[in-house]
Structures are given as C-alpha cells and as structure tokens.
Structure 1
Amino acid sequence: MAAVQWHSRVRRYVAEKQSCGLEVASVEFGDYHPLKSITVTDSKSRRGARKGSTSSSSSSSSSVAMDPLSCMMDGTDPLSMFAAASASEPHLTLPHSISSGRKEKEDEVAVDFEPWSSKRGEILARFTTTEKLSINLFMGSDKGKVAITVTGSQRELLNLSQQDYVNRIEELNQSLKEAWASDQKVKALKIVIQCSKLLSDTDVIQFYPSKFVLITDILDTFGRLVYERIWSMCSDPHPLPGTGSDEVNDTAKETCLNWFFKIASIRELIPRLYVEIALLKCNCFLTKCGIQKTLPRLTAMIRGIGDPLVAVYARAYLCRIGMEVAPHLKDSLNQNFFDLLETFRQIHGDSVQNQLVLQRVEIPVYLTLYSPAIHWILQCVSYRAPEDYINCAEIWVEFTCRHFTKREVNTVLSDIIKHMTPDRAFEEAYPQLQSVIRKILTYFHDFSVLFSMERFLPFMDMFQKDSVRVEVCRSIMEVFIKHQHEPTRDPVILNALLHVCKTMHDSVNALTLDDDKRSLALLINGFIRMVSFGRDFEQQLSFCVEARATFCNLEPVLVQLIHTVNQLAMETRRVMRGSHSRKTAAFVRACAAYSFITIPSLTSIFSRLNLYLLSGQVALANQCLSQADAFLKAAVSLLPEVPRSVSIEGKMRSSEGFLLDFINNFLSTLLVVPDHPEAGVLYLVRGLLNMVQDYTWEDNSDAKVQVYVSALPLLAAMSQETYLYCIPKVDSNETLYGGDPKFVAEINKLCETLIGQVLDHLKILGRDESVRRQSSLAFSLFGCLLAHGDLRNNKLNQLAVNLWNLSHKHGYCDTQTSVRTLEFIKHLAQQPNMLHISDMVQRLILQSRT
C-alpha cells in the first residue's frame, strides 16, 4: 500500500442534510402508538367450548387495563398485610432485668457529678481560725460528769487550737469505730449524738464550715456502720436490698426499727435531725418508699432551726445524703432550695446582727460562710435538671412551630439557650437539640423567616461536637435543597447558609471517606446552584470568588463553581445578544480569568482537561480569542500528564477510552478556532497530533492511529469553502484563509502524513498476525475515505477498495455492518456524478469467516 495524495471531497452540507432527512409519516387518531396504554382482554372459555374458539359467546372481555401483580395477589398488598399483622400483635414488655437496670441507673449519680470528697479539703483549707475552740461532751443528764474518756483534762477540751480541735475530732471518730467493733452500740450512738450537738454551736462562726465537715465525717462513719450491720442480717446479703422485699428478714427489720426508735428519743432537734439523716439509707430495709416519705419530713424539720447558718448546712447535709441514696427524688431538693431562699431575711434580724457584732464579723465575710453549703445545694438541684428541661422543651417546640409564629419559636429557642448554656449542659443533650432542629425544619421551609429568628444561629452554636454540628448542617441543607424552588439573593439566607456550608466543608480532613466528601459536596453544590443575583452579574462573580476561597478543599464544589462562572459568561452573552460592550467584554474576560486560575487547583486530570476545553469554548463564544487560545493550549500541554490508568469508583481502569473521547471532542472544537497570526497554519492541530505522537500508549493499542483517523474528518472539513458550523462574530479559518490553495495544500499534506502513519500501522498488525485489530482499523479508515475523501482520484479510490478487502480478508468484520455499508454505497452510486462509486462497488468483496 503506497502512500497516496489526499483530496478532500467537496461537501454541500445543506443539500446533504435535506437528502438525509427522515420521512414524516402521518399517524391517524386511534392508531397504535408505543406510549399508548395497552388494553388487556381477559378471556374465559366456556365449559365445552371448542379449543381455540374466538367467538364472542365463548369469551368475556374487559376494557379495563389489568395489573398482573394485582391479579396474582387478589388486590392485597403484602407489605400492608405485614404492617397490619404487626399492629395487631400485643406489645412486648421489657424484661425485669432491663427495667430494673433502668431504675438502678436512676438511683446512681453519674460520674459528671462532683463528689463531696473533692470539696472537703477545699473547705478545711479555706475556713480557718486563730481563736480558741471548745469541745463540750456530756454523755449523761449530769452536766458536770464526763462519761467518755478523752485524752487530756476538761480544761484542754475547753481551750483548743484549730489543729488540736481537728485532732480531738479524729480521736472521737476512732473511738466511735472502736466502740462499734467492741459491740458497744449505745456508746457509739452517744458519741454521734454529742458530736452532732457541736453543730449548734456558732461561738467561733468563721470556723463553722470546717467544723461541719469534721462532724459530718463522724456521722458518715456511723451511718455506714449501721447500714452494713443491718445488711448483714438480711436473708440474702449479696444483692443490695433497696426495695424492702423478701430479701429483708424480720430480724433485720426489727433492728432497723430499733435504731430509728432510739433516734426518735433524742430530745434536741439538731442531733436528732443529723443522726436520722445519717441513717437515711436504712429506710430501704423497711418499705419500698421509705426514703421517699422520709425526705419531706426531714426537710420540714430543718425549718425549726433558728440560726440561718446552721440551717443552711443542715440542708446541705440532707441534700448530700439524699443524692447518695435517691438522686432521682428531686422534690425534696427543690424544696430545700426554696426554704433556703426564705431564710435569707433572717440575716438582717437582731439575733444574727448581735452575734456578728459580738464576734466582730462583717456581713460580707459572714455571707462567704454560706457559699460551700449553697454551692452544694445548687449542684444537687441542678443535677439532671437540664435533661428534664430539654425533654420537655423538645416536645413543646413542635407545638409552638405548628400553632404559632416565628416570634414564639424564637422565644422558645432563647429559653432553651438560657437553660442549656450554663455548665455546658448542652453537651449531654445533643440528641434532643437535634430533634428540636428537625422539628423546626419540618414546619419552617421559608429560610428567610427561619434565619430572621435572632436565636436560631446562636442555638446552632451549642452544637460544638464536630460530628453533631456537621449532621445538623446536613439536615438544614437537605431541607433547603428540597424546598427552595426559586433562586435567592437574600443576604440573610446567603450569609447563614455560607456559614452552614463552611462548617460542613471545614469538617473534611485526611481521614474523611470519599463518600462523605461526595455527599457534602452535593449539598454545597445544591446551595451554589440556588444563588442568583439576577442581572447583577458582577455580584454573582464576587460570590463565586468568595465561595472558591471558602470551599477550596472539595474538588466537586470547585468544578461546580467553574461551571457557574461559565454559565454566567454565557448568560451575559445572551443578554447582550452576542454584541458585547466594553464593560461586558471586560466582564466575560474576568470570568475566563476565574476559570483559568481555578482549573489548575483540581487534582482530577480529566476534570482539568474537560474544563479547559469547556472554558475555551465559552471564551470563544464570547469573542475572547486570546483567552480561548490559552485554554486550548493548556489542554494540549496537559495531555502528556494523563496516566495510563485512572481510579473509577475505587477500581483502576484504562484511561484510553476517556482520552479518546476528549480528543474527539477537542478536534470538533478546533474547526471553529482561528489560527493565531504568529503561530503558523493549523498550529493547534499540529500541537495536538504531536502530543498524541509522543504520548506513551498502552502496549498492543491502536489508540494513536485511531486519533489519526479521527483527525481526517476535521482536516477535510477545514478544507471546505463553507464550514459545517461557526460561532457568530468569530472569524474561523474559512474567513481568514478564504480557501487559499496554500492552506488547502497544507491540509492535504497533513492528511497524507496521517494516512501514511495508519497504513504503516496496518502493515505492522499484519506481520504480528493481529488480524482482528487490522480488520477493524482498516474498515474504520475505509469509512473515513468514503465520507470525506474525493474518490474520483484513482489512487484514493483504489486505496479505499484495498482497505475494504483487507478488512474482510480474514472474515473478522461484522457482517451486518458490512452489508448495510455496501447497501449505502450502492445507493450513493445511483446519485448523479457518482460513476466512480459505481465502478468501486464492483470491486468490493463481501466475505465472512463462514
């Protein structure tokens, strides 16, 4: 196969289009149409009717279209049947272990509750004194007799330093343990009673908080010893008997009642109150609701204490023990707090004021003595209070959204923020807060109204855990995309949603899954598509510039922004009807600059290639020739970087198919691109072919010569006097060269070079016995010569015949395609001035492998 001279066939595109048009056949009403609904006739043969009979007497017809699925199921829906069956089943109750587990959770204080032990040392270190202290212990009715042996004389007990006082209290605590161990239960009780009496003494008022800590240590020890003693008497001491059930035998109950009877015989209020509080947990041995009934009674007893300082610490001790044994019983805690508020008026009474004057204590110093007790009471009252509150608010917000306006909803949000912000309570209520957001989004689809609520965005600020915050932002964007049907330019909506989208974008890191990135990008792209500033194109471009800086880590968003800017340039062209003013011409060049700057930041090489080409086409349509030239040259220079394989949905695949598609699209664009006056004839076509020539293709690949074959139709179209298509107000090469013979000669020369390359490759395939590939490539080149070559040239005509015969030589050519092609050639030969085609048909051999 010797090289031949190329001559392009002269084309008359308008005439060819008319001749190739499909005939229009009129369809009368009632005729068959593929989209027309089908009427199914259900025929039921009569008994005894002749087989195959079609008479009307042997069948019944229905004009209603029948659903085969409905027929099979007798009109019943299996999913509805299952739902009905499940609704009719009785609800299962929780097993005892689960329900009891929940109750045990309620009866336990969570780890986030600051224990008393962490405050004890702080109080002892803070509230000190240099004055002398006294310990008056009189066990009997005779006040002059000391019934307990304490190291030292009576004088020492009445004139103690702070450290001596602490040491003496420690000795009493040890004496309590020794008396209990030696089975002297009455002596132990007397020690506790006398120590409790010390809490009524406020002679050294500045030391009272520390005294409270030391004395309550003794009370705690006594309460623990009594409880363990009664517990050991139970019939089954292993499980914790917190219910007064059969596990507690009569002996244990009688012992417990005996202790409470002894406490009831204490005449003075303060020791009787403190000792009973210390044994509060023992009420569980008597009845199931013993603790629940005892707490209100003890709370009421404290109201009988006249000194407000003594009373507040008694309330603190009751709240502390109450939290240890029954933290879920909140009523008594709240009542103690309210009683505390009522006692503050006593501070200004004569009794307290006279005491402060006597001890030379100022009011500010005196008030600091209340702080440990008040702080503890408030901690107990606030425990799980946000949880209770938010559970209520979660339900209330739906009622407000359904029946009221944004004003009332805003008030509810403000109240939630007020309650959940202290101590960062919102961190424990993220599910409920998310539910609040979902319910608001269910009823408020107008985002201008939603974001006009002053407290909505501050409410969102409470979601400070990254995963939760992103999930909330997802919910907002999903609702926006679903219900926002018209583009918006509302600054309130745009600023708020930009913040929401930025939150989602900033959550992306190196560990983020590709699926998560893709879903986030889809939501952000949905927002970008809904932003429109109308005819204010410059504002739209400014928004895209801001969005590019905000969403730089999500490549699909950058791609969407480039498409948006290209669309903006084309919209400008439409508004100006293709005739740009100086201002709009500068604007579309700015759009081109935006795309040219943004595209290199993309990692996907095919995204860059396609966007370079698309942006070049947009620039060309807007008469930005230098910008279009820059885009196309950038695309050509990028081709050598295309890898031989790319990752598609996690799998590595050959990139040849994608590359060939891009090159074919690129070639079709080059028809309307005018040559640069300083770059030579067909410089972009030559540059592309040179890149194809130097590219490292896969082994045993015909992709390179397929590009050469694809370039021949482009070169043939370039040699026509009138091009197949053009861009208004852009002069293509048909205008620049005007059919100059030198230009046509350059085209023909380039075509001959390409054909020579293809023919050489066919020879190589023949030597390598790759006859199937040779057949396919030869048939492809034959079709190109038939469509675009001037076959009146004998050498070109003979080359076409040889290619046909080569493609059919080994029988690998598709027979159906060959037959249809041969029929087309015969039809073409019947046209005027097609004698050379008639002669060629005679030499075409149709051969198959059979």
Structure 2
Amino acid sequence: MEFKTRDYRAEDKVYSLTRISVSSHPLCSSASSSLLHTQDHGSTEFFDPLRGLSTQTLEPVENTAVAEKLPATQPTSHLSSKKEWTSFNKLLMQRFPVPKMISVSSFSSKTIKGSKASGELSSNIQSDELNDSQKLKEGGFKIVSQQEYIKRLHELKDEIMRSWHSDDRVTTLKLSIKVARLLMDTSVAQFYPTLFVLAADIMDMLGDMVWDRIKQKAEFADDGTKICSLSDDFDANRICFEAKETCNNWFRKIASIHELLPRIYLELAILPCWRFLHDNVMDDLMRLVTMIRGVADPLASAYCRFFLLHCAQKLPQLDTGHLIACISDTKIVLTRIVSMKETKYGNFLGDRRLVISLMEPTIEYTMRCIFKDPNQVADMILRLELYGEVPWISVILHYLLKELPVSVVCSNAVEILHLVDCSSDYSFDQCLNYKVLGLKLCEGISQVNTVDVLIDEVIQVAIKRKSLDEYLKILDAYMDIILQYKIDHYLSSILSEIFERLCSEVVTEDELANLQSIIVKLVTHFDDMKQVFDLNYFVDILDVMHGSSRSIVSMHILNNATRNDDINDPTTIKLLFDVAQSLHDSVDFSSTKQDDNQQAERLIVRFIDKVDHGIDLDRHLTFLIECRGAFSSMNDLKEILVHSSNLLATRALRLREKKDTLNFIKSCITFNEVTIPCIPSYSRQLILYLETAEVSLLGGLISHSDGLLDSAISCLQDVNLVDGMRKNEDADGIVSLMRKLCSFMLMVPGNLDQGVTYIPKNILSLLDSQSWITPKLRIRVLCSLLSLSATFSQNELPYHPIHEEVFGNDSLFFGDARYSQELVSLSTLILHNMVDTIPQESSQATRGKLALEACNCIAMSFNVNQEISSVCSKLVEIARSCLGPADKYLQSTINFVHKQSPVSVGGK
C-alpha cells in the first residue's frame, strides 16, 4: 500500500473561494439593496430574518371567536362590577380559613340540620316570623361540621330554585328568609365571611329571578303579546299596572319580616326592582343605609353594608352619598369598639381584634367603591374630610391610603404623614400605615414634594419605635426615596442605627426579611459595589445576616457586581469572594439542582470569570487556587477554573519574559492536572485534558503535553465505569472528542522511545475494549485514525505548532524508512478493522452508508492500486446489497474511486 501524496497549499488555493473586500456587512440594508440590483429577484424585497420583524406595521386582529356579546339588560359596567365582586369573594373565603367544626346558635342549627319548608306553608309570613323569633331567643349552641353547613346552604339554594320554577313564590320567599336569618348568627366568627359569600350568592339569585319576572310582566301581556321593550335606563311611568302590582307585593311581603337584618337583606336583594315603581331609587338606598344602623352586632352590620354596596352597583345611579354614609357609619362602629374599656367580664381585647380583622374586607371594598371613579377623587376627599382635625381609625385609614391615587398622596405627603401620626389606635398596626404611605410615594417618586421634611419626620418616627421589626418596616418603605434623592447623611445614620439594634437584639425571621429588603434596595441602587462596601457598617450588617435572607442578599450583590465591567479592585474582590463563599456554604449543590441552586452557581461562576488582576498573573492563579478550595461542591466551577487557568497561560505567553513564562505555564498546567480529575464527567475531563495539552504545546512543554494525552487516554478507558446504560448522545460526544484527539496529534511530535504511532495504537486498542462503542461509532474513529496516518506520511503537514522550538513529524522524521513503515503497519491494521467492523452493523441502511464512508476514506488516503481496489470493490458490493444500485451516494463513491485508478471498481 502506498499513501497518496498531497500538496495542502496547492489544494487550499484551488478550493478556496475568491474573497472580495466590502465596505459594509452583507446583511445591512445598503448591501441588501445592491444585492437586489445585481441579482434577478424580480419585485421581491429582501428580508433578513436576523434583523427582526418587518418594518411594516401589522394591523391588530380581533378575536371574534372569544369576544362575547353582552346582554342588553346588563351594561358593561355592571358586568365588570359583578366580576370584581366574584373575585373579591373568592379571596375573602381564602383569607379566613374555615374551621372543621362550627359552634352555631340552636336556631341556626335547626335550619342547617334540614328543617325544610315543605307541605302546607302559612301565607301569613309575619306570623311565622314571630314564631321563629321566639325560637331564636332560646339559648344554647350546637356544634356542626363546616361541610354539613356548606352542604345545607347549597341544598337551600337548590330548593329555592326548584320552588321558584314550580311557581311556589311563598316557599321561595320563606326559604330565602331562612338563609338571610343565618347571617344574624355571628357566633360562627371565622366562618362568617364564608357564610356571607354563600348567603349573598343566594340573595343575588333571588334578586335576579324577581327582576326577570317583573321585567317580563312589564314587557309582555299574559297571552305573550309584547307590550314594550325596556331599555337599560327605562322610566317607571312606562311600566304597566300589573307589573307594578307584582313588584309592590314583593316589597310588602319583605316589609312584613319581623327581624331587621333578614328584612334588609331581602330588600337589598331586590333593590333594583324599585325602578319599576319610581325613578328616585337613591331615596330607598339611603333609607336602607339608615336601617342598617339599627343592627347592633358590628360584624353583622359591616357585612350588611358590604352587601348594600354590591347591590347599589346594579343601579344606574350617579350619587355617591351612600358610600360616604357607609364609611361614616363604619367609623362610628369602630370608634365604639376601640374605645371599649375593661368590664366586669374581663378585657375582651382579643375578641375585639378578631371582630376588626373580620370587618377589614368590608372596609377595603368600601374604599374601592369610593375611589372607583377617578373623576370624583377630589370630591370624595373633600366629603370624607380627609385632612380634618378628628383622628381617623387606623384600619380605615390603611385601606383609604391603599386606594388613594398616587398623585394625591405625593402632593400631600406631609399632611398624610401627620394623619397617620394621629391615628394610633390598636385596630391596625400603625407601622403598616407608614409602610403603605411609603410604598405609594415610591410609586410616584418623581412627584414627591418636600422630600427633606418628609424623610426627616419619617426617620424620627422610626427611631421612636422600640421594636427592630417596626423600625425596619418603616425604613424599608422609604428607602427608595432616600436613595433616589441621594440623602447620604440619612443613609449613614440609618446603617449605624440598624447595626446598633442588631447587636443588642436577637434577630427574628421577620426582621431579617425586612433587613433583606433594605439591603437589596441599597445594593441595586449603586452601579459600583465598591461604593456599597465603603458605606459605614454595611459589611458589619452583612455579617450579622444569616439563612435564606443572607443568601438572597449575596445573590443580589454578586449580580450587581458582575453586570458591568471586570472586577479589579483588590478590596472589592476580597469582599465579593467572602460573599460568594457564604452563598456557596448555604446551598447544597450535591442535591438535585433547583432554580435557586442554579442561579447561585451561575452568579459565583460569573464573579470568578469577571475577576481580573491585570498583569499580576501569579495573583490571579492564586485566586483560582483559593476558589477551588472554597467552592469545592461546584463541579461545573472546576471546569471554569481549568479554562481560566489555560487562559492565564496564554496571556503569559504574550506578556512575560520567556523564562518566567515557562515556569508560570508549568504552574497553570499543574493546577489543571490536580483539578481535572475532580470533575465527575469523563467527557468534560477529556475536553479539558485536550485543551490543557494544546496550551502545553503552545508553551513548548512537549513532555507535559504527552503526559496530558496519556491522561486523556486513561480517561477514555474509564468511560464505561460511569454507568451501564450510556446514552447515544454521550457516546457520540466522546467519539467526537476522540476524533478531535486525532486532529490534535498532527501537531504533537512523535515519541522516539514508544514510537510515533503510540497514541493512535492506544486509541485502536481502546475501540476493542469498550463495549459501548457501536460499529457506526467505531468506523468514525477508524476513519479518523486512517486519515491521521495518511496525513503523517506527507512531506509537509497541513498545520504545525506555533512554538518555534516544537517541530512537527514532517521535520523530525522526514525520509526515515522506519517512520513510514510504522505508519503503513498501523494503516494496514486499521484497514482490516474497517472491513471486519462493517458487517457487524445490524441496520442494513446504516451498514451500506458505513461501507461507503470507509470506501471514500480509503480512496482518499491511498493510491488505488490492485490491493486497494479489491478492498474498495468489496465495500461497494456491501453498499450495493444494502442500499440498492440506484443510490446516489453509492454512484458518487464509485465515480470517485474510478477517477483515482484506471482499475474498474464495482461498475457504474
């Protein structure tokens, strides 16, 4: 066999494309225009997908399939309010978890246990109600399960609907009264919000059914003849007598209910029906507001007002007097609660707090309604007498502040702050009012007036707080304003105060969370972490933090420090190193990686990558050594450290004297030789061994390069120890690395003691020992080894080492017969391996393609004489039997081999 002689320089000139210098990138607009003129593209405009979307504006497409046609009887505003009501009620039920067992009054228990309204029912509702009222006075409580209670309410709803559809209006009303009467029983406490939601749903259902019935009577005669069609804003004078009579009958029946609360709920349920009788429904609404004042129980009255606000939104009214009246009445009720003194029964502070917390959702919803219309904000503030002399109840003020527009809060910041100062009752945590005010101001931070006066007063308020938690809560809300307006003297005093308090108290989790928020805002505000570290007490405060709060702060610090330029300040590097080490120690990298673990690892890796000690390469290598010890749990980081070490070695070649450079590169290689075996992935080890061997060769360290290549071969021998079931992609990757090793071998001088084909023979032996290498992968490696042998045989290699003292094999062994004989011997062995391996492939199509791939490689490597032609013919026959004679790859291979020699190979 004879290797084919090749002239790589000549081939490069022949096959290289002609290069033309251009003044702009071919994908830019000007180049695209010229391209359109020079080529025949017709009228088609050039569009480059890499440059983004077309400049033409796309017209929005309306989704007609999703759009709903709103009923004429329900205006859009009403549907929006209904959706908001439903969403609010869902949150309300989630806010107060329902206990499994509920203590209810004996009368409520009778209703829940299933006393159904069936059989003969008295038409005299007032008489029945008086009887029920007498029963209600009977003392005693009973225990029922919450499941039983809720199930019974659903049953009552179904019964009401069935009786309605059976035209049994009396039963419908009687059952509805029973549901409403349940709301009189506030002994259920924690369950009351859930009870209200379920009962209000039944009341709404009743109201809708009554409304539809009366509206139908107004629009249609008894015989079905249409009388008129009512619009949303119809007048009462258009309603026929029969419809009005039916409507009057409903209100009279409800007016005969003895108990006040059920009477109010039932009238509210059908409140919109007053529009069938007269146009001034607001008078009826205000009458109901006044009636609710007669409900003594604060919880029952609060939720009744809650339902009133919901029902009022069904009216096409513009007046908002009922909103002001409701919040004023709520203020009176809460004032009585918070002013209660200790009685002979003891201090009921706990119960009062529970009542207030249960009332909070009703206050929140009221404030939403008050400030719903942005055009009426100024009028509402005036009518609420926001800046009056009378202190506000804290809980009401809280939800008022939440709903106030940002512009109003910012323009009246100091006045509102004074308002919060004066509202210090126990109905709500005053710190949260300071906090919500601060958050509102931060939303419109550019609109804040009198910043110095505001912050000065806020800090004085915070300092007076003895609790560290309260102090941090208040400061946290205003930290963005302090940072935005660069009030540095406040910042210094704040950090000093925080550190003093941290040293004198045991820090709780809540306090750590607030401290975390403050520190994160501080960190993210500055572009340069050196400015943050230079702040007095910042590092001391950081040292006090621990747990998840410390980890989160550490991640923000590293993220902020690494988002810009390289980090080169020694002090900053040391502090960031401590931060990264603290983060590393708080995360379990050995467990299955979660998002937080991955983010922490990415930040630490990015920090190490950003560190730059400039020309002090020895210090940087020392830094990498420190990182390897400090972050030992991070396997991915070890790989980065090896890459960084190799980068340092290449930088040393450009910056240093030859003698110093050699020693430094040796240190880098030694660092890598210690680090690489610690990486569990053999494929990654192989990559790093090859990379380090290249760096060694670049520095002229041939012996080190040989040692690294031996380590790479040993790594390949251990691959089958990873697991028994190797994935195809892993195997493909390792084979690709083996082929890369073959390419790298062209630059490595042959070993005079072990022979120039020492490493290729080791690779060949490796193929026989690894069970995971399939015939397909084996052929790929064999082709690479054969190409390597053929390239080694050339008088001039295609590429050489850059180092001037490292000579290629074409220089070292030129004209040496033993060298050529060794290459021929290796190639013969590879050739036989190829021929023996191909039949082992089980897939017929793959076997045919492997035969052609081997045939092409052989024809490119050797002169096609009789011996080579025989081998190629055998491979072509295998391919023809597997792929068929018409296969294009087969035909092109036959043509290629035929051109290499006059001997016919397999026919055409």
List runs of 5+ in structure 1 lacking aligned partners: 1-5, 42-64, 79-84, 105-234, 250-274, 294-324, 332-380, 830-835
- Asked if the contact 2:856–2:897 (Cα under 8 Å) also holds between the matched residues in 1, the reply is no
- Asked if the contact 1:401–1:443 (Cα under 8 Å) also holds between the matched residues in 2, the reply is yes
Deviations 1:561-591 (A, max 9, x none): 1100001101112335xxx522111110000
Q: Give the corresponding residue for 2:821.
A: 745
1:726 aligns with 2:800: yes
Supply the RMSD in Å over aligned alpha carbons. Answer: 4.6
Q: Give the corresponding residue for 1:82.
A: none
Q: Give the corresponding residue for 2:744.
A: 669
Q: Give the corresponding residue for 1:761.
A: 837
Equivalent position SS for 1:748:
helix
Q: Give the corresponding residue for 1:347.
A: none
- How far has the Cα of 1:421 moved from its partner? 4.7
1:281 is aligned, of 347, 359, 374, to 347
1:536 aligns with 2:616: yes
Q: Give the corresponding residue for 2:777.
A: 703
Q: Give the corresponding residue for 1:246.
A: 296
Amino acid of the structure 2 residue aligned with 1:246: A
Amino acid of the structure 2 residue aligned with 1:17: D
Classify 1:34/1:784 alpha carbon distance in 2 versus 1 (closer, same or farther; 3 Å).
farther
Deviations 1:621-680 (A, max 9, x none): 1111121111110111121211387699xx955632122111101111111111233333
- How far has the Cα of 1:460 moved from its partner? 2.3
Deviations 1:761-794 (A, max 9, x none): 34556xxx75434322221111112222122x33
1:481 aligns with 2:562: yes
Classify 1:599/1:278 alpha carbon distance in 2 versus 1 (closer, same or farther; 3 Å).
farther
* In structure 2, C-alpha distance between the alignment counterparts of 1:707 and 1:383, rounded to whole Å: 75
2:592 is aligned, of 476, 494, 513, to 513
- Asked if the contact 1:463–1:469 (Cα under 8 Å) also holds between the matched residues in 2, the reply is yes
1:582 aligns with 2:656: no
* In structure 1, C-alpha distance between the alignment counterparts of 2:343 and 2:503, rounded to whole Å: 34
Equivalent position SS for 1:714:
helix
The structure that has the greater radius of gyration is 1
1:794 aligns with 2:866: yes
- How far has the Cα of 1:25 moved from its partner? 7.8
- Asked if the contact 1:645–1:652 (Cα under 8 Å) also holds between the matched residues in 2, the reply is no
* In structure 2, C-alpha distance between the alignment counterparts of 1:520 and 1:247, rounded to whole Å: 54
- Asked if the contact 1:420–1:426 (Cα under 8 Å) also holds between the matched residues in 2, the reply is no
Deviations 1:352-390 (A, max 9, x none): xxxxxxxxxxxxxxxxxxxxxxxxxxxxx9998333322
Deviations 1:275-294 (A, max 9, x none): 979877379999999xx99x
* In structure 1, C-alpha distance between the alignment counterparts of 2:189 and 2:906, rounded to whole Å: 101
Deviations 1:697-747 (A, max 9, x none): 35x634334322220000111111111111122112222212311100110
1:471 is aligned, of 552, 576, 587, to 552
Classify 1:691/1:843 alpha carbon distance in 2 versus 1 (closer, same or farther; 3 Å).
closer
* In structure 2, C-alpha distance between the alignment counterparts of 1:240 and 1:383, rounded to whole Å: 33
Equivalent position SS for 1:727:
coil
1:10 aligns with 2:10: no
- Asked if the contact 1:609–1:638 (Cα under 8 Å) also holds between the matched residues in 2, the reply is yes
Equivalent position SS for 1:281:
coil
- Asked if the contact 1:481–1:526 (Cα under 8 Å) also holds between the matched residues in 2, the reply is yes
Classify 1:670/1:434 alpha carbon distance in 2 versus 1 (closer, same or farther; 3 Å).
same
* In structure 1, C-alpha distance between the alignment counterparts of 2:885 and 2:492, rounded to whole Å: 74
* In structure 1, C-alpha distance between the alignment counterparts of 2:487 and 2:506, rounded to whole Å: 29
1:451 aligns with 2:533: yes
- Asked if the contact 2:795–2:810 (Cα under 8 Å) also holds between the matched residues in 1, the reply is yes
- How far has the Cα of 1:593 moved from its partner? 0.3
- Asked if the contact 1:808–1:845 (Cα under 8 Å) also holds between the matched residues in 2, the reply is no
* In structure 2, C-alpha distance between the alignment counterparts of 1:534 and 1:284, rounded to whole Å: 65
Q: Give the corresponding residue for 2:676.
A: 599
1:21 aligns with 2:16: yes
Amino acid of the structure 1 residue aligned with 2:533: F
1:685 is aligned, of 760, 771, 776, to 760
* In structure 2, C-alpha distance between the alignment counterparts of 1:802 and 1:101, rounded to whole Å: 78
Amino acid of the structure 2 residue aligned with 1:390: L
List runs of 5+ in structure 2 lacking aligned partners: 23-30, 46-52, 67-75, 98-183, 191-292, 300-340, 357-389, 392-424, 432-462
Amino acid of the structure 1 residue aligned with 2:701: C
1:845 aligns with 2:907: yes
Equivalent position SS for 1:70:
coil
Classify 1:754/1:814 alpha carbon distance in 2 versus 1 (closer, same or farther; 3 Å).
farther
1:553 is aligned, of 633, 636, 639, to 633
- How far has the Cα of 1:328 moved from its partner? 6.2
Deviations 1:27-72 (A, max 9, x none): 996232999999879xxxxxxxxxxxxxxxxxxxxxxx96677135
1:640 is aligned, of 706, 709, 717, to 717
2:467 is aligned, of 385, 400, 405, to 385
- How far has the Cα of 1:417 moved from its partner? 3.0
1:32 is aligned, of 30, 36, 53, to 36
Classify 1:816/1:330 alpha carbon distance in 2 versus 1 (closer, same or farther; 3 Å).
closer
- Asked if the contact 1:675–1:733 (Cα under 8 Å) also holds between the matched residues in 2, the reply is yes
* In structure 1, C-alpha distance between the alignment counterparts of 2:550 and 2:617, rounded to whole Å: 33
* In structure 2, C-alpha distance between the alignment counterparts of 1:636 and 1:448, rounded to whole Å: 47
Deviations 1:133-187 (A, max 9, x none): xxxxxxxxxxxxxxxxxxxxxxxxxxxxxxxxxxxxxxxxxxxxxxxxxxxxxxx
Amino acid of the structure 1 residue aligned with 2:528: D
- Asked if the contact 1:693–1:704 (Cα under 8 Å) also holds between the matched residues in 2, the reply is no
Amino acid of the structure 1 residue aligned with 2:645: V
- Asked if the contact 2:649–2:695 (Cα under 8 Å) also holds between the matched residues in 1, the reply is yes
- Asked if the contact 2:872–2:905 (Cα under 8 Å) also holds between the matched residues in 1, the reply is no
Deviations 1:534-569 (A, max 9, x none): 111111111111111111110111110110000110
* Number of equivalent positions: 552
TM-score, length basis structure 2? 0.54
Classify 1:522/1:489 alpha carbon distance in 2 versus 1 (closer, same or farther; 3 Å).
same
1:629 aligns with 2:706: yes
Q: Give the corresponding residue for 2:876.
A: 804
- How far has the Cα of 1:434 moved from its partner? 2.5
* In structure 1, C-alpha distance between the alignment counterparts of 2:861 and 2:742, rounded to whole Å: 15
Equivalent position SS for 2:788:
helix
Q: Give the corresponding residue for 1:143.
A: none
* In structure 1, C-alpha distance between the alignment counterparts of 2:39 and 2:723, rounded to whole Å: 41
* In structure 1, C-alpha distance between the alignment counterparts of 2:761 and 2:476, rounded to whole Å: 69
Q: Give the corresponding residue for 1:124.
A: none
Amino acid of the structure 1 residue aligned with 2:755: G
Identity of aligned residues (%): 21
Amino acid of the structure 2 residue aligned with 1:546: E
- Asked if the contact 2:735–2:777 (Cα under 8 Å) also holds between the matched residues in 1, the reply is yes
1:400 aligns with 2:482: yes
Amino acid of the structure 1 residue aligned with 2:554: C
- Asked if the contact 1:762–1:774 (Cα under 8 Å) also holds between the matched residues in 2, the reply is yes
* In structure 1, C-alpha distance between the alignment counterparts of 2:89 and 2:788, rounded to whole Å: 82
Q: Give the corresponding residue for 2:61.
A: 73
* In structure 2, C-alpha distance between the alignment counterparts of 1:34 and 1:477, rounded to whole Å: 52
Deviations 1:451-470 (A, max 9, x none): 111322222234322x2222
- Asked if the contact 1:410–1:456 (Cα under 8 Å) also holds between the matched residues in 2, the reply is no
Classify 1:655/1:92 alpha carbon distance in 2 versus 1 (closer, same or farther; 3 Å).
closer
* In structure 2, C-alpha distance between the alignment counterparts of 1:468 and 1:504, rounded to whole Å: 11
